[in-house]
């Protein structure tokens, strides 16, 4: 077919694909020889998705994938510093380049590259030719340098965000139509590509100027007319540099391409050569997926998938030989005899992967439906115990399904195994199963947990859910639970799943867990996180399971009364607000509120966010209230009450367990990258305390009859850890002497005595101390203290001058992260920082996170150690640990034992770092007690 009207050309920005793939994936190597292939794998997946998603009549008629040939191009002759800021190519990426070309050809996509030209120029040229021939063009890329090409039948498509980029989107980004984009880029320059532009002019200002003067040449000729002196001078002084910049950013759409559009016609991939390539790369999952789509048999491949390697330098990947997944091999156990054979097998092996199926994600409400076991990869069984026939009546009641062992009988047989010290029970998220078994009188131990192994090795790189781990590390996508239960209103519970289907799903989970364990176990050591896993992760399972099952007593009546009071107050405020607005509207809608404030009432200074809605955050409303506007002040009051009511007084009532009368949160051990816990369903780590009204909610968290609540919290733990790791003599001294640390900081910085310090000065020093922990920036501190940015920067400079060790610590930490891709806490916990070497705004986030992680993480490690020791230390005391709130532990204890508990728990907490780490600052714990949490805190 000759290219012309009705044709549609897809141009893929291949080089961008490679870099995205490289950075998005952990470093993978080919199993047989260790060749790095992560980027190739990602590239192939993206290319295949692109092809597969664009089949049919709306798809392309012609397609090509375009690459950069080498770093040298004609632009280097225009400006010798062009792209001089580019970081060195990572060592393990370069060898993957030729393979991506090979991959492109294997998928039967034209592979284009030209010496001396960037991919962007080739794309520009082909796009122009296609447009002139009357066809349409889609450029698969989100690169802003290509946006100048949009319009007249050419658009872009951001494959990551699945979003087309047309004229409107370009205008949104650059503030001008696509044909003026190069003018804006020439003025604004680009630090990544080292395009100079005009100093002090960014995209916003550039767009303003271009829109005012029409185009760049006119602007430069009439630069004298610009009102702002700085801008005027910048343009006059740099006119030549700006013209050079324009030549740099202008794509050459007349490159001497040697291909005709007709040659780019879409072709079906040749199955045989494509299969050969994918098999040679050892991409198991993709090979299978492509084979299915092409309806051919996948070639026989080595079974093990690419093996992940951590960033640690001295480790080698561990290879595991495993059979393919086969759901047909899973056994359904319906009688004691068959179960007995499995138990024999487990005893022979000494370990078993276990998984439970239940009716709910809430372990306190869930009913046990079945148990699956696996001891050999590829072989697993499922024991259905609580399945029901699908034909229940309207109320959901129905008879048990046939062919199941009695629950008690099965548990009686399994209990000795599950409790046997000599048999390791392996699970994924074992805290869940631990609680389910505990509710049936089985104390499962000892355990290993693949989720926690992944967390110890890969925290910060990805999540640790089983499906994701299986896909990533076993190259296998498990059966989705959705396919059994459905979603939304018609969703069923697991006990309604037909046993035949349940076997495949449930046994597969045990199979996967066992395989993950085999893959992870030896790598813990290589990643040097064995101690972290053994001392900070695994022991948490039992401790937290106990706390969660105990729960905390909540007085629902108090909450209900508060809800009613809030509702009344809110109704009054709502009436006042609508009166002030002069129209009824939904006070809870930020969108409607913004329109009332900044349009109907005509208040000036409304800022629109990226979604086009006005910002109405508390800071904005506070400013307006300070200017004397009543309505925003009322809205702030209303919002406080609305938050308290919906999130706390209303929602908490629904979390009171029908049998225990207590609230049972669930802690995720592997949720936060830094090692902190996270509390969900409900979140009991964010119960209000800062506002007076909010704090009253804590009055509803009460001790049982004859009991008291005791709260112990670490004082300034993060600053103490900072003083230790950054080794700051003045701070360490102050902590040893028990001096007010914020006052000390202020004193050192501003040369004022600690005695009789102005509270405002102390407040500023406190903000700086917090800022340091967060990876301080002038902007952030300025916003927090509501002072000019220059002043904030002045504070920071003085702080670093006074405490140079802090600056050193920050620089060293960031350098370590850049070198290794992770940081470590004092206790060895690894937190990966994959974005640390990124360019653009990501880099700032990653930098600050890297500075914060070792401090926040070490504090998290300390309290974990305390929690793990607590059961043994408090054995015999009539006390239970109920909650953890990052630096606080809450206990419920019999009245007579309060003092003893405080003494014991304080000793454990203050000494929690020992003996692993000898802190050279003391840890101090404050304690309180009362009938409810408000009093105890």
Q: Which residues, 354 to 393, sit near DNA by CB under 7 A?
A: none
Indicate the DSSP class of residue 730: H
- 605 Ramachandran zone, left/alpha/beta (phi>0; psi -120 to 50): left
- Nearest-approach distance from CB 625 to DNA, in angstroms: 12
- Nearest-approach distance from CB 579 to DNA, in angstroms: 19
Residue 259 interacts with DNA (CB under 7 A): yes or no: no
Give bridge partners of residue 315 from the DSSP assignment. none
Closer residue to DNA in complex, CB, 260/646 = 646
Q: Candidates 119-127, 309-317, 604-612, 900-908 — which segment interacts with DNA by CB under 7 A?
A: 604-612
- Nearest-approach distance from CB 372 to DNA, in angstroms: 27
The tokens for 620 are 């904005």
Q: Which of 680, 801, 819, 896 binds DNA (CB under 7 A)?
A: 680
- The string of DSSP codes covering 268-325 is ---HHHHHHHHHHHT-HHHHHHHHHHHT-PPPP--SS-PEE--S-TT--PPP---PPP
Cβ proximity of 709 and 892 under 8 Å? yes
Residue 454 interacts with DNA (CB under 7 A): yes or no: no
Closer residue to DNA in complex, CB, 615/739 = 615
Q: Which of 158, 845, 877, 931 binds DNA (CB under 7 A)?
A: 845
Q: Which positions from 849 through 878 interact with DNA, judged by CB under 7 A?
A: 849, 852-853, 856
d(CA 282, CA 37): 9
Closer residue to DNA in complex, CB, 32/228 = 228
Binding string, residues 150-189; x marks residues near DNA by CB under 7 A = ----------------------------------------
Q: Which positions from 216 through 255 interact with DNA, judged by CB under 7 A?
A: 228, 230
- Nearest-approach distance from CB 125 to DNA, in angstroms: 31
Q: Which of 57, 227, 482, 690 binds DNA (CB under 7 A)?
A: 690
- The string of DSSP codes covering 187-217 is HH-BTTTTB---TT--HHHHHHHHHHHSSHH
d(CA 125, CA 112): 12
Residue 447 interacts with DNA (CB under 7 A): yes or no: no
Residue 686 interacts with DNA (CB under 7 A): yes or no: yes
Residue 401 interacts with DNA (CB under 7 A): yes or no: no
User: How many C-beta neighbours within 10 Å does residue 851 have?
Assistant: 24
Counting Cα atoms < 13 Å in the Cβ hemisphere of 927 gives 17
Query: Which residues lie below 8 Å from residue 787, measured CB to CB, with a gap of 6+?
Result: none
- Nearest-approach distance from CB 44 to DNA, in angstroms: 25
Binding string, residues 778-817; x marks residues near DNA by CB under 7 A = xxxx-xx---------------------------------
Total interface residues for DNA by CB under 7 A: 82
User: How many C-beta neighbours within 10 Å does residue 572 have?
Assistant: 13
Residue 927 interacts with DNA (CB under 7 A): yes or no: no
Q: Candidates 77-85, 315-323, 326-334, 667-675 — which segment interacts with DNA by CB under 7 A?
A: 667-675
Q: Which of 689, 760, 815, 903 binds DNA (CB under 7 A)?
A: 689
Query: Which residues lie below 8 Å from residue 805, measured CB to CB, with a gap of 6+?
Result: 726, 727, 728
Element (H, E) at 508: helix 499-526
Radius of gyration in angstroms for the set of CA atoms belonging to the chain, rounded to a whole number: 32
The residue written with tokens 């101690």 in the block is 531
Q: 863-876 burial, b for 16+ CB within 10 Å, e for fewer?
A: bbbbbbbbeebbee
Q: Candidates 22-30, 412-420, 576-584, 840-848 — which segment interacts with DNA by CB under 7 A?
A: 840-848
d(CA 119, CA 70): 10
d(CA 345, CA 331): 14
Closer residue to DNA in complex, CB, 301/745 = 745
Q: Which of 67, 887, 913, 923 binds DNA (CB under 7 A)?
A: 887
Q: Candidates 102-110, 219-227, 276-284, 765-773 — which segment interacts with DNA by CB under 7 A?
A: 765-773
Counting Cα atoms < 13 Å in the Cβ hemisphere of 827 gives 29
Binding string, residues 562-591; x marks residues near DNA by CB under 7 A = ------------------------x-xxxx
356, burial (CB in 10 Å: exposed 0-12, middle 13-18, buried 19+)? buried
3-state secondary structure of 211: helix
Residue 928 interacts with DNA (CB under 7 A): yes or no: no
Residue 85 interacts with DNA (CB under 7 A): yes or no: no
Q: Which positions from 625 through 644 interact with DNA, judged by CB under 7 A?
A: 636, 639-640, 642-644
Whether the upstream peptide bond of residue 915 has omega within 30° of 0, thus cis, is yes
Q: Which of 28, 209, 559, 687 binds DNA (CB under 7 A)?
A: 687
Residue 656 interacts with DNA (CB under 7 A): yes or no: no
């Amino acid at each position: 077919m000759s290219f012309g009207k009705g044709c549609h050309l897809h141009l893929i920005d291949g080089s961008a694909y490679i870099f995205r793939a490289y950075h998005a994936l952990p470093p993978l190597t080919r199993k047989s020889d260790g060749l790095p292939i992560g980027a190739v794998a990602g590239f192939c997946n993206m290319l295949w998705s692109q092809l597969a998603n664009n089949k049919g009549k709306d798809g392309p008629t012609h397609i090509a994938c375009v690459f950069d040939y080498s770093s040298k191009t004609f632009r280097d002759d225009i400006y010798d510093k062009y792209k001089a800021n580019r970081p060195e190519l990572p060592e393990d990426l370069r060898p993957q380049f030729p393979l991506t070309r090979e991959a492109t050809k294997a998928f039967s996509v034209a592979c284009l590259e030209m010496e001396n030209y960037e991919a962007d120029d080739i794309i520009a040229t082909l796009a122009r030719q296609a447009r002139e021939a009357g066809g349409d063009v889609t450029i698969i890329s989100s690169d802003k340098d290509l946006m100048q090409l949009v319009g007249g039948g050419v658009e872009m498509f951001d494959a990551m965000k699945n979003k087309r980029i047309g004229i409107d989107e370009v205008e949104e980004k650059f503030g001008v139509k696509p044909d003026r984009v190069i003018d804006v880029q020439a003025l604004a320059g680009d630090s990544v590509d080292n395009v100079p532009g005009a100093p002090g002019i960014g995209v916003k200002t550039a767009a303003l100027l271009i829109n005012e003067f029409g185009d760049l040449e006119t602007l430069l000729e009439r630069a004298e007319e610009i009102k702002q002196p700085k801008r005027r001078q910048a343009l006059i002084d740099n006119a030549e540099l700006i013209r050079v910049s324009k030549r740099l950013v202008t794509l050459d759409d007349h490159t001497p391409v040697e291909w005709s559009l007709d040659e780019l016609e879409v072709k079906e991939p040749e199955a045989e050569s494509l299969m050969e390539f994918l098999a040679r790369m050892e991409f198991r999952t993709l090979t299978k997926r492509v084979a299915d789509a092409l309806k051919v048999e996948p070639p026989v491949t080595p079974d093990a998938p690419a093996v992940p390697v951590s960033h640690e330098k001295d480790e080698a990947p561990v290879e595991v030989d495993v059979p393919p997944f086969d759901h047909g091999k899973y056994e359904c156990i319906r009688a004691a005899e068959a179960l007995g054979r499995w138990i024999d097998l487990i005893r022979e092996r000494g370990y078993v992967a276990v998984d439970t199926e239940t009716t709910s994600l809430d372990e306190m409400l869930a009913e046990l439906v079945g148990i699956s076991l696996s001891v050999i990869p590829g072989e697993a069984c499922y024991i259905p115990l609580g399945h029901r026939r699908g034909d229940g009546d309207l109320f959901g009641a129905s008879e048990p399904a046939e062919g199941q062992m009695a629950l008690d009988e099965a548990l009686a047989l399994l209990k000795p195994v599950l409790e046997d010290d000599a048999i390791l029970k392996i699970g994924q998220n074992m805290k869940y199963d631990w609680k389910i078994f505990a509710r049936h009188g089985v104390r499962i131990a000892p355990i290993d947990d693949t989720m926690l192994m992944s967390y110890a090795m890969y925290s910060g790189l990805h999540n640790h859910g089983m499906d994701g781990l299986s896909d990533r590390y076993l190259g296998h996508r498990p059966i989705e639970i959705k396919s059994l239960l459905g979603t939304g209103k018609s969703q069923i519970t697991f006990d309604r799943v037909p046993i035949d289907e349940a076997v495949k799903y449930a046994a597969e989970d045990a199979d996967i867990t066992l395989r993950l364990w085999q893959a992870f176990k030896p790598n813990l050591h290589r990643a040097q996180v064995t101690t972290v896993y053994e001392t900070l992760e695994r022991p948490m399972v039992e401790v937290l399971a106990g706390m969660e099952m105990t729960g905390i007593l909540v007085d629902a009546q108090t909450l209900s009364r508060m809800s009613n009071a809030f509702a009344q107050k809110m109704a009054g405020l709502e009436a006042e607000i609508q009166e002030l607005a002069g129209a009824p509207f939904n006070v809870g809608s930020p969108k409607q509120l913004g329109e009332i404030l900044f349009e109907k009432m005509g208040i000036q200074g409304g800022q629109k966010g990226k979604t086009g809605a006005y910002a109405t955050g508390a800071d904005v409303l506070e400013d307006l209230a300070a200017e004397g506007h009543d309505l925003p002040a009322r809205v702030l009051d209303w919002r406080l009450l609305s938050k308290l009511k919906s999130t706390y007084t209303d929602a908490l009532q629904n979390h009171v367990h029908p049998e225990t009368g207590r609230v049972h949160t669930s802690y995720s051990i592997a949720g936060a990258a830094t090692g902190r816990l996270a509390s969900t369903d409900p979140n009991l780590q964010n119960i209000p305390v800062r506002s007076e009204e909010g704090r009253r909610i804590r009055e509803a968290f009460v001790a049982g009859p004859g009991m008291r609540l005791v709260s112990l919290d670490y004082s300034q733990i993060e600053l103490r850890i900072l003083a230790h790791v950054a080794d700051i003599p003045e701070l360490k001294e102050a902590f040893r002497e028990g001096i007010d640390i914020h006052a000390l900081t202020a004193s050192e910085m501003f040369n004022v005595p600690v005695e009789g310090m102005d509270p405002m000065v102390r407040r500023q020093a406190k903000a700086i101390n917090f800022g340091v922990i967060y990876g301080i920036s002038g902007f952030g501190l300025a916003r927090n203290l509501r002072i000019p940015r220059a002043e904030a920067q002045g504070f920071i400079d003085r702080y670093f001058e006074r405490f140079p060790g802090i600056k050193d610590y920050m620089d060293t930490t960031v350098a370590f992260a850049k070198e290794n891709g992770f940081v470590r806490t004092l206790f060895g916990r690894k937190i990966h920082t994959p974005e640390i070497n990124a360019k653009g705004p990501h880099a700032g986030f990653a930098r600050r996170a890297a500075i914060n992680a070792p401090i926040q993480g070490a504090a998290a490690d300390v309290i974990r150690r305390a929690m793990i020791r607590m059961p043994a230390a408090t054995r015999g005391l009539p006390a239970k640990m109920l909650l953890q709130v990052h630096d606080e532990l809450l206990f419920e204890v019999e009245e007579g034992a309060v003092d003893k508990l405080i003494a014991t728990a304080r000793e454990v907490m203050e000494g929690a770092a020992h003996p692993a780490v000898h802190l050279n600052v003391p840890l101090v714990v404050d304690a309180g007690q009362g009938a409810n949490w408000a009093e105890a805190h």
